[in-house]
Structure 1
Amino acid sequence: MRFLKHSLMACAAYLPVLALAHPGHDHHTGFWAGFIHPFTGLDHLMMAIAFGVLMWTANQRWKLFGLIGLAVAMVIGFMIGSQGFIPAAVAEYGIIASLVLLAIALWTKSNQVLPITAVLLASFHGVAHGAELGQSGHASLLILGMVTAMTLIYAGGLGIGAFIKKYVPYGKKIIGTLAAIVAVIGLA
């Protein structure tokens, strides 16, 4: 038991290393820079995959809303961030809060939280990237690449949700575990 406790503490100590959410900001232009970026950040992967899993467990009408809401809110957030209306530091706190909200929605399987989660999560990600990357050239191609990649990752999350629901025994417990992982990474 003591070994397990120390192992968990050691793993928790390394979580901030895994939370380097935004490597690769040295290339700020073009579609491919925007497309590759979500695949290099743990926050993007966790957000989009968990959001897809959550949407799969939700009512049918939320699945399409989630996809459209994710893209539109991210674009609007990017425009707001690139104009400097909201500082990147404030957006990072919004990302953390929305990841925790997503974890709560996954844990409780709440359909009431979904629209709020969709808009907050994607818009704060958009604001953060607009503030960090939007000042450079070719911002429209950058955001197009980022939204395309996030949509693909989200669709992957939908697929994972479908797989868990159909083929995995105790799938609801796995989704609850995913919620805990999302919360820990969000707070790291």
Structure 2
Amino acid sequence: MRHTARTALAVAAFSVLPQLAFAHTGVGATHGFDAGFAHPMGGLDHLLAMVTVGIFAYQLGGRAIWAVPVTFIALMAVGGALGISGIDVPFVELGIGLSVVVLGAAVALGVKAPLAMAMGLVGFFAIFHGHAHGAEMPEDASGLAYGVGFMFATALLHVAGLGLGMAIGRFGETHGTRYVRGAGAAVALAGIGLVTGIL
């Protein structure tokens, strides 16, 4: 558990670096960073998926605690570059909605996937999220600053998911796992609502 806490703190510390890097840049870069940071925070689908990636990583434990979120961020950057470049990715909105359903279900069912499979799963869905972020970049924003902004926000949401998983897991020594799975089930149901247009 101490190793888990240290890993989460390290991820949080590294995620602060981009904000410091843009603290004294020009208006265009700052606007780009702010817009990029705000984008993942502005949609329920992005929020649920990214926090659930953190919960999923916590549930898997071990190297997955850092490898799963890092994979998501890396592949999301690829998707973001495609979106900024105007390169089409089919079924983006459906992919985002399904990511909430699948990741929530994985947590709810307590799936103990091999690390490579878990990384592949989150990486696949990250491309859809990244493309949506990139495609919706304001025309007057700096692409680099905007990309750093949404990656920074995503890292914070992953850390929040890790922290939430730890908090729920430690809430009750006997029923902690049940609470984590219940949270996953709630996310999956919300995802179904997003895919069907109810939410």
Match in the other structure for 1:93: 94
Question: Aligned-pair RMSD on alpha carbons?
Answer: 2.1
Give the corresponding residue for 1:142: 146
Q: Which residue of 2 aligns with 1:116?
A: 120
Distance 1:117 1:99, change over 3 A: farther
Listed one character per residue, the Cα deviations across residues 44-77 of structure 1 (whole Å, up to 9, x for unaligned) are 2211221111111113111111121121011001
Task: Name the residue aligned to 2:176.
Answer: 171
Change (3 A) 1:101 1:59: same
Q: Deviations over 1:101-141 (max 9, x none)?
A: 20221122223252233102221100112222276541211
Aligned residue in 2 for 1:182: 187
The answer to whether the Cα contact below 8 Å between 2:36 and 2:133 also exists between their aligned partners in 1 is: no
Amino acid at match of 2:121: T
Percent sequence identity is: 30
Q: Deviations over 1:78-123 (max 9, x none)?
A: 1112223324x62111112222220221122223252233102221
Partner of 2:132: 128
Q: Measure, in 2, the Cα distance between the counterparts of 1:42 and 1:97.
A: 13
* Residue identity in the other structure for 1:67: P
Q: Give the match's secondary structure for 1:93.
A: helix
Which SS does the other structure have where 1:60 is aligned? coil
Task: Tell me the equivalent position of 2:104.
Answer: 103
- Which residue identity does 1:165 align to in structure 2? G
Runs of 4+ in 1 over 6 A off after TM superposition: none
Distance (whole Å) between structure 2 residues aligned to residue 37 and residue 81 of structure 1: 14
Q: Which runs of 5+ in 1 are unaligned?
A: 1-28
* TM-score, normalised relative to structure 1: 0.76
Q: 2:44 aligns with which of 42, 46, 49?
A: 42
Letter of the aligned partner of 2:36 in structure 1?
A: G
Aligned residues: 160
* Equivalent position of 1:84 in the other structure: 86
Does the CA contact (< 8 Å) of 1:78 and 1:134 recur in 2?
A: no
User: Would you say 1:159 and 2:160 are equivalent positions?
Assistant: no
Amino acid at match of 1:61: R
Deviation at 1:161, TM superposition (A): 0.9
Q: Which moved more, 1:107-116 or 1:51-60?
A: 107-116
Q: Cα distance 1:37–1:85, how it changes in 2: closer, same or farther (>3 A)?
A: closer
CA contact (8 A) 1:99 1:121 kept: no
